[in-house]
Amino acid sequence: MLTLTTFRSVPPFAAGYVRDLRVRWALEEAGLPYELRLLDFQDAALPAYRKEQPFSQIPMLQDGDLRLFESGAILLHLAQRCPLLLPQDAHARAQVTVWMFAALNSVEPYLAELVTLNLFHGDEDWAAGARPAAEEMVRKRLRDLDDWLEGRGWLAGEFSAADILMTTVLRLLDGMELVERHDRLRAYRDRCMDRPAFGKALADQLALYGQAPRAA
C-alpha cells in the first residue's frame, strides 16, 4: 500500500495548492490507490517528524518500507513503475528527467520567490523595491517556456511526470495574469489541467480541506 503524508488542515488560500497535489495527480495517472496520513501542522517541526523529513515539509510517500520525501523524487519513483509518466526508452526517459529538474530548479524557485514576496511581505516597504527584479526573472522564464512549447504539446515528447511538475509550478501564479500573457503556455497549462487525473487529484485535495470542486 502507498501512503501519502500531507497536512490535516491548511489556510484557505492554500487549499488546492498544497504540494501533495503533484503526488496525488501522479498516483491518479498511474492508477495507483493510496491512503492518506494526516499531519498536524505544528507536528511537522517536532523531532519525530524531522527524523523522517528534515525540513518539516510535506509531501512524503511511504511505499512498503521505503519512505520518500521531495515531490520530485517521489514522482520519479512512481514514474519508474508507470510508462505513462516516464517512457521506457532511455533517450526519451532522459529528456523527461531533464524537464523534471527544470521545473523544480530553473522555474519554481523564481515563481515561488515572487509569490512569497506578494503573499508574505506585500505590506512591507521594501517589497515594492524588490518586486521588479523578481517579476523580471519570472517573465523571462515564462517567455522561455512559451518559446519551447512552439510546436510541442508537452515538454518532452508525450505527456509525462515533467508536465505534472511544471503545471503545479505554473499554478503558483494563479490570479496574477502572468501565464495568461503567453498563448502557448496558457494553452499548455490548461491542456494539462484538463486531464481527468488532475481533476480528481484537485477535487480530493479540496474535499479534504472542506471545499467543493471548482468550476472549470
Question: Shortest approach of its own copies to residue 215 CB, angstroms?
Answer: 32
Rounded to whole angstroms, the maximal C-alpha distance in the chain is 52
Q: Which of 81, 121, 181, 214 binds its own copies (CB under 8 A)?
A: 121
105 binds its own copies (CB under 8 A): yes
Looking at the Cβ atoms of 13 and 126, the one nearer to its own copies is 126
Question: Shortest approach of its own copies to residue 17 CB, angstroms?
Answer: 16
In single-letter form, the type of residue at position 186 comes to: R
Looking at the Cβ atoms of 147 and 194, the one nearer to its own copies is 147
Among residues 209, 214, 210, 216, which one has the least CA distance to residue 7? 209
Write out the binding residues for its own copies, residues 41-100 only, by CB under 8 A.
Answer: 50, 54-57, 65-66, 68-73, 76-77, 91, 94, 97-100
- 6 - beta bridge partners? 38
144 binds its own copies (CB under 8 A): yes
Q: Which of 46, 128, 187, 207 binds its own copies (CB under 8 A)?
A: 128
Pick the piece of the chain touching its own copies (CB under 8 A) from 31-39, 140-148, 171-179, 184-192.
140-148
Among residues 64, 58, 4, 59, which one has the least CA distance to residue 28? 4
Question: Shortest approach of its own copies to residue 85 CB, angstroms?
Answer: 15
DSSP state of 54: T
**Distance between CA atoms of residues 110 and 198, nearest Å:** 24
Q: Where are the alpha helices (DSSP H) in the chain?
A: 20-30, 47-52, 71-79, 90-101, 108-121, 125-148, 161-170, 183-193, 196-208
**Distance between CA atoms of residues 150 and 138, nearest Å:** 19
Which chain residues interact with its own copies by CB under 8 A? 50, 54-57, 65-66, 68-73, 76-77, 91, 94, 97-102, 104-106, 108-109, 112-113, 120-121, 124-130, 133, 141, 144-145, 147-148
